[in-house]
């Protein structure tokens, strides 16, 4: 009764612990209302005495009625709607709502209790992890559809009581957007973890040991070794942004950055050699430093065309990791559920886009295709035979072979989308009454609208709450990892 009165009347009450009756209440406001207690044979006047405030220092006393549990229950809704509120902000909101003086340290402890109620216990969730996985596999038996034979690999730190890392494999769909293929939580980003992850990834996608797949990563040492070990014939690209980050530690300036990206973005070997020669004349040390990195890892001129993508940056994983910021500080099952719900909502969002899309190609591919067609109309074409054409612009001349679907600029080879020279050759074929068919059919199937819809045919099915999970039959229980210093560069305090 007293607690209800204190909350609804917004009065600051303090129950004296040395009172044997446990009903003597000090009210920190002036002219308080008398409240009768219950459960005693004495009269109401003997149960409760109202004492007016005698000194301003009583304002700073922590309220006995507002225990940690009570405060945590009050702020739980605030954290549900705005989880990033700091203890200082929660303290201000609580004081404004209840006119109660609380210390920031007490509010910080109450926030910890509230987050534990909302997200779950870090330790206990490990004991239910096997049951969670069983329910997830039961609802989602698995499917094997990806957009292109290109996957970005990366890892990000967990910010919880038990350290770990989230390893991710992210692909790209026909609309040039990220498509998450696999993710896992491991103890540390090391050789053993990457080998385990890549072995399972190969099994799930039915990739043989000699698969001609393409990966792109940030040059993690353990990852480089394991990709070569698990998939020896795979093409492994390095993110150019991270190469430049290492380069500018010694050689800074926009000049060196421009020279590096000019060499990286060159699509043919002659243009790459010209760019490297310019780097050599400008700074010999940079030329020697870049020469130590295999060219097939970072320059488009030496990429194969298997992936149908000329991607230089690992932005797929960077974008996906950014979406996981809200999950990395949560208990393991809550973290996995956060990622699952995000992927579910993303698939629904893409399906809404697909419902409004029309035409043979995806929206992004259609936009790029229109630009290519506009540029192709400005070129001059000379027919050599039925499949070979010479295409000239003001500054360049290329040879197109429509039979092999190649061009000496290599953009058609790399991306799977005809370059402006190839489209100009197709225009010439139409003028000569040769059968070409719809021009969009010359674009690789990865960019077709039908292929894009097939990739998102499957949904990630939800699972019921923990109370409805079937206990796992596995006799062993997963335990949290021991606390250790995380591998990688420590975060700086700025």
Complete DSSP assignment for 249-303: TTS-SHHHHHHHHHHHH--SHHHHHHHHHHHHHH-HHHHHHHHTS-GGGT-GGG-
The interaxial angle of helices 269-282 and 254-265, nearest 10 deg, is 160
- Does a structural domain hold residue 373? yes
| DSSP-assigned beta bridge partners for residue 392 | 380, 397
Extract long-range pairs of 403-412: CB within 8 Å, 24+ residues apart.
405/442, 408/268, 409/267, 409/268, 410/267, 410/268, 410/300, 410/301, 410/305, 411/267, 411/310
- Does a structural domain hold residue 490? no
User: Quick one: pLDDT at residue 145?
Assistant: 63
Name the nearest CA neighbour of 452 among 168, 152, 176, 153.
176
- Does a structural domain hold residue 409? yes
Q: What angle do CA 114, 116, 118 make, to 5 degrees?
A: 70
Q: CA-to-CA distance for 445 and 64, rounded, in angstroms?
A: 69
Shared domain check, 190 and 51: no
- Does a structural domain hold residue 350? no
Shared domain check, 322 and 380: no
Number of domains in the chain: 3
- Burial tier of 489 (Cβ tally within 10 Å: 0-12, 13-18, 19+): exposed
| DSSP-assigned beta bridge partners for residue 26 | 14
Q: CA-to-CA distance for 420 and 411, rounded, in angstroms?
A: 9
CB 164 within 8 A of CB 185: yes
Shared domain check, 325 and 219: yes
Residue located via tokens 């216990």: 121
CB 402 within 8 A of CB 437: no
Return the number of other C-beta atoms located less than 10 Å from residue 455's C-beta.
20
Shared domain check, 178 and 65: no
Question: What does residue 162 show for φ and ψ, rounded to 5 degrees?
Answer: -105, 115
- Does a structural domain hold residue 488? no
Number of Cα atoms under 13 Å in the Cβ half of residue 285: 6
- Does a structural domain hold residue 12? yes
Shared domain check, 423 and 386: yes
Shared domain check, 28 and 149: no
User: Quick one: pLDDT at residue 429?
Assistant: 95
User: Quick one: pLDDT at residue 409?
Assistant: 94
Extract long-range pairs of 310-313: CB within 8 Å, 24+ residues apart.
310/267, 310/411, 310/414, 310/415, 311/150, 311/172, 311/216, 311/237, 312/237, 312/239, 312/240, 312/264, 312/265, 313/239, 313/240, 313/241
Residue after which a domain boundary falls, among 88, 119, 150: 119
CB 436 within 8 A of CB 426: yes
Q: Residue 119 is encoded by which pair of tokens?
A: 């997200």
- Does a structural domain hold residue 484? no
Shared domain check, 59 and 151: no
Shared domain check, 312 and 254: yes
Shared domain check, 437 and 317: no
Shared domain check, 300 and 162: yes
Residue after which a domain boundary falls, among 312, 344, 376: 344
- Burial tier of 257 (Cβ tally within 10 Å: 0-12, 13-18, 19+): middle
User: Quick one: pLDDT at residue 38?
Assistant: 39
- Does a structural domain hold residue 483? no
Shared domain check, 149 and 17: no
Residue after which a domain boundary falls, among 80, 96, 119: 119
Instruction: Give the structural domain span for 144.
Output: 134-344
Containing 217, the helix (H) or strand (E) segment is: strand 214-217
User: Quick one: pLDDT at residue 494?
Assistant: 59
Shared domain check, 307 and 187: yes
pLDDT in tens, the chain (494 residues): 555 555 555 555 555 455 444 444 444 444 444 443 433 443 434 333 433 444 333 333 344 456 777 788 778 777 777 777 888 888 888 888 777 777 888 888 888 888 777 778 888 888 889 999 999 989 988 766 666 889 999 998 888 778 789 999 999 999 999 999 999 999 888 899 999 999 999 998 888 888 889 999 998 878 999 999 999 999 999 999 999 999 999 999 999 999 999 999 999 999 999 999 999 999 999 999 999 999 999 999 999 989 999 999 999 999 999 999 888 888 899 999 999 999 999 999 999 999 999 999 999 999 999 999 999 999 999 999 999 999 998 888 999 999 999 999 999 999 999 999 999 999 999 999 999 999 999 999 999 999 999 999 888 999 998 889 988 888 888 888 776 666 666 566 65
User: Quick one: pLDDT at residue 477?
Assistant: 81
Q: Residue 43 is encoded by which pair of tokens?
A: 């009269």
């Amino acid at each position: 009764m007293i607690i209800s009165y204190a909350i609804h009347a917004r009065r600051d009450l303090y129950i004296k612990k040395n009172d044997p009756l446990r009903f003597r209440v000090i009210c920190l406001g002036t002219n308080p209302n008398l409240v009768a207690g219950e459960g005693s044979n004495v009269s109401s006047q003997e149960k409760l005495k109202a004492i007016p405030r005698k000194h301003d220092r009583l304002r700073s006393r922590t309220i006995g009625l507002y225990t940690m549990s009570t405060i945590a229950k009050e702020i739980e809704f605030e954290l549900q709607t705005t989880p990033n509120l700091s203890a200082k902000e929660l303290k201000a909101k609580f004081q404004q709502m209840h006119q109660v003086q609380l210390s920031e340290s007490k509010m910080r402890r109450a926030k910890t209790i509230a987050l534990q109620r909302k997200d779950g216990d870090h330790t206990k969730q490990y004991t239910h992890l096997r049951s969670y996985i069983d329910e997830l596999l039961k609802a989602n038996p698995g499917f094997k559809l990806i957009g292109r034979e290109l996957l970005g690999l990366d890892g990000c730190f967990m910010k919880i009581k038990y350290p770990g890392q989230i390893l991710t494999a992210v692909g790209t769909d026909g609309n040039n957007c990220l498509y998450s293929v696999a993710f896992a939580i491991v103890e540390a980003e090391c050789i053993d973890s990457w080998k385990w992850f890549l072995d399972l990834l190969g099994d799930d996608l039915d990739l043989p040991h000699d698969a001609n797949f393409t990966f792109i990563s940030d040059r993690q040492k353990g990852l480089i070794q394991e990709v070569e070990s698990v998939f020896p014939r795979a093409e492994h690209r390095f993110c150019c942004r991270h190469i430049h980050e290492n380069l500018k530690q010694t050689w800074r300036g926009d000049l060196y950055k421009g020279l590096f990206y000019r060499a990286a973005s060159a699509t043919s070997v002659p243009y790459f050699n010209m760019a490297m020669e310019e780097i050599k004349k400008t700074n010999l040390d940079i030329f020697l430093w870049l020469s130590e990195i295999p060219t097939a890892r970072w320059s488009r001129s030496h990429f194969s065309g298997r992936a149908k993508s000329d991607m230089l940056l690992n932005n797929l994983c960077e974008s996906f990791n950014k979406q996981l910021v809200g999950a990395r500080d949560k208990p393991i099952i809550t973290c996995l559920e956060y990622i699952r719900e995000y992927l579910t909502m993303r698939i629904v969002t893409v399906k809404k886009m697909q419902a409004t899309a029309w035409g043979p190609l995806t929206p992004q591919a259609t936009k790029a295709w229109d630009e290519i067609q506009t540029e192709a109309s400005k070129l001059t074409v000379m027919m050599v035979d039925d499949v070979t054409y010479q295409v000239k612009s003001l500054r360049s001349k290329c040879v197109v072979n429509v039979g092999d679907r190649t061009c000496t600029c290599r953009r058609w080879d790399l991306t799977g989308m005809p370059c402006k020279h190839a489209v100009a050759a197709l225009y010439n074929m139409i003028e000569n009454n040769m059968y070409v068919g719809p021009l969009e059919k010359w674009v690789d199937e990865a960019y077709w609208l039908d292929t894009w819809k097939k990739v998102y045919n499957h949904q990630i099915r939800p699972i019921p709450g923990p109370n409805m999970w079937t206990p796992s039959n596995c006799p062993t229980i997963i335990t949290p990892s021991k606390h250790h210093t995380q591998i990688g560069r420590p975060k700086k305090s700025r």
